Amino acid sequence: MNAKVFSIKGEEIKDIALDDSIFNREVSEGTIYYAIRNELANKRVGTACTKTRGEVRGSGAKPYSQKGTGRARAGDKKSPVWVGGGTIFGPKPRDYSYSIPKKMKRVAMKSILSLKVKEEKFKVVEDFTVESGKTKDLAAILGNLVKAERTVVVLKDDDAMLKRAGENIPWVKFLSYNRLRAHDLFYGKNILFLEGAVKNLSDFYGTKA
């Protein structure tokens, strides 16, 4: 299939051939769900933590005599039954991350890209950069291409100056063609692909599942 290539002024300048195996395939909703779920789980920080009786600060001395006081037997102020004592079976920091098959992840990315093409939320832009690294220069370019809403720009390489220019634009995210994120792509209102990124992605994904 073909798509229009836009200039940084928002004008159609030529056509580009898109790989049907990436941008025009059957959408697999299941793989999209699992890919997004996996990314969110991997970002989760399991910091919940409680102290056991061995970690609570305090003396290990017996608080009072075993007999003669009329109170319950007690051997340690750090006992879980005492106020300020340890916690029994409380939460400890844990790792929520897990991995999914690479093939499933690839199918998910292709499905999302195909979905965005069908929804007309996908646009190819001629290769550009912002040599000044200034936000206003990038904002002027984006203003010609999309509305001020959640936008993902897919780069052909790691363009430090372009990323620097976009740091102060809260609704813009940058992804490299070989490090796509399902969550950002799926929830993006606009997906801008640099022309070079489309060609690189075809080489990266095209011949694989």
Residue 183 is assigned to a structural domain of this protein: yes
**Amino acid identity of 65?**
S
**Helix residue ranges per DSSP H, the chain:** 20-23, 29-43, 102-118, 135-143, 160-165, 182-187, 195-205
Taking alpha carbons only, the member of 109, 95, 107 closest to residue 197 is 109
Residue 107 is assigned to a structural domain of this protein: yes
Residue 144 is assigned to a structural domain of this protein: yes
Q: Which residues contact 102 (CB under 8 A, 6 or more apart)?
A: none
Write the pLDDT tens digit of every residue in 74-125.
999 999 999 999 999 999 999 999 999 999 999 999 999 999 999 999 999 9
Cα Dmax for the chain: 95
Are 22 and 110 in a shared domain? yes
Are 142 and 175 in a shared domain? yes
Q: Does the structure show a pLDDT above 60 at 209?
A: no
Q: Rounded to two decimals, what is the model's pTM?
A: 0.83
Are 147 and 195 in a shared domain? yes
Domain extent, residue 197, equals: 2-29+98-205
Residue 168 is assigned to a structural domain of this protein: yes
Are 103 and 196 in a shared domain? yes
In the chain, how many domains are there?
A: 2
Cβ count within 10 A of residue 43: 10
Write the pLDDT tens digit of every residue in 41-54.
999 999 999 999 99
